[in-house]
Amino acid sequence: SPHALCTNTLASFTCACHEGFLGDGFICEDIDECTSYIDSCDVNANCTNTVGNFTCTCHPGYTGDGHTCADINECLVDNGGCDTQASCTNTMGNFSCSCNYGYTGDGFTCVDFCDELSYVNISDSWRNVNLGAGTTSYCDSGDWVVQWYRVVPPAGTRLANECPPPDHCGSAYPAWYSGTEPTTPGEEIVGSVCTNLYECCRFPAAVTVRNCGLYLIYELPNPPTCNITYCTDD
C-alpha cells in the first residue's frame, strides 16, 4: 500500500501500515481517530480527521492548540462588546451582557426607561425648598409648557413631596407633589400637584409621574395663576 512501509528481509520483504492506518501492509485503511475516540483533542475542541492523521481546533470562546484549550474571558476586552450601561459576565466558552439597573435592552444595547420621551430639565437652584425663605418674584404660570420635566441639580432630584412653607421655592405660593412615587423602572403613577395658598392643597391638578430607573420625570400642568412655582427637593 502507498500508506505502508516496505522492509527488505533475506529473500523477502514485509509491509507495515504507517501510523494512522490499519491493515496488513498490502491494504492500509485510514483510521478515523475522531470517531474512534483515540484522538488527543481537548474536551473543548473539535477533532477533524485527515488521511493518516487528525487535527484539533478549540471551540469558539476558547484558545489554545486544540490539544489544550483555555476559556477566553471576553469581558476583559471592551466590556465584551456589551453596552457601556451593561455588565459583562464571563462563562465557560461564552459570556453574557445584562443592562444595569435603570436601563433596559438586550445587554448589547441599553437605554433608560425614558429615552423614548422628550423631557426638559428643571435646574433652577432657587426652586429648592431647603434654601429656606427667599425671593418670591418668580412665576411658572403663563408661558409654562405642559410636557415632561426632570428635576436636576442644583434644583435637586425631585419635586417636593411635602407641603412647603409659604414664600419658598421662588414664590409666595409654592406648588408640590402630593401622591405616591412610582418605584419600579418604567412604572407610571397619576398623582396631584397642590399649591400652598392659605392651605396646603389649593388648586389640585393631576400629574403623571414616571420612574425612569435612576430618576423621575413629571408631566406638569400649567399653574392656574401667577405667584406659583414648582418646588423641588434633594
Residue 64 lies in a domain: no
In terms of domains, do 152 and 87 share one?
no
In terms of domains, do 197 and 124 share one?
yes
In terms of domains, do 37 and 81 share one?
no
Residue 4's pLDDT is 84
Residue 102's pLDDT is 85
In terms of domains, do 124 and 225 share one?
yes
Residue 67 lies in a domain: no
Q: Which residue has the cell 428635576?
A: 151
Asked if residue 215 lies in contact with residue 148, where contact means CB atoms within 8 angstroms, the answer is no
In terms of domains, do 19 and 82 share one?
no
Please enumerate in sequence order all residues whose Cβ is within 8 A of that of 122, keeping only pairs 6 or more positions apart, or say none: 149, 150, 151, 152, 155, 230, 232
| pLDDT above 80 for 135 | no
- How far does the chain reach from its first CA to its final CA, in angstroms? 88
In terms of domains, do 166 and 89 share one?
no
The band of 7, judged by pLDDT with boundaries at 50, 70 and 90, is confident
The band of 51, judged by pLDDT with boundaries at 50, 70 and 90, is confident
Main-chain phi, psi angles of 144, to 5 degrees: -65, 130
The band of 19, judged by pLDDT with boundaries at 50, 70 and 90, is confident
Residue 95 lies in a domain: yes
**Phi-psi sector, 167: left (phi>0), alpha (psi -120 to 50), beta:** left
- pLDDT (tens digit per residue) in 157-197: 999 999 999 999 999 999 999 999 999 998 999 999 999 99
CA 27 to chain centre: 62
Residue type for 45, please? Answer: A
| pLDDT above 90 for 11 | no
In terms of domains, do 8 and 26 share one?
yes
CA distance 153 to 158: 10
What would the mean pLDDT of 34-62 be, rounded to a whole number?
A: 91
Domain count, the chain: 3
2-6, 90-94, 95-99: segment of lowest average pLDDT = 2-6
| pLDDT above 80 for 136 | no
In terms of domains, do 204 and 171 share one?
yes
| pLDDT above 80 for 134 | no
Preceding amide of 2 cis, omega within 30: no
Strands 119-122 and 147-151, by their bridges, are parallel
Residue 117's pLDDT is 85
In terms of domains, do 179 and 206 share one?
yes
In terms of domains, do 81 and 11 share one?
no
What would the mean pLDDT of 100-104 be, rounded to a whole number?
A: 89
Q: Could you list the residue range(s) of the whole structural domain that residue 35 is in?
A: 4-59
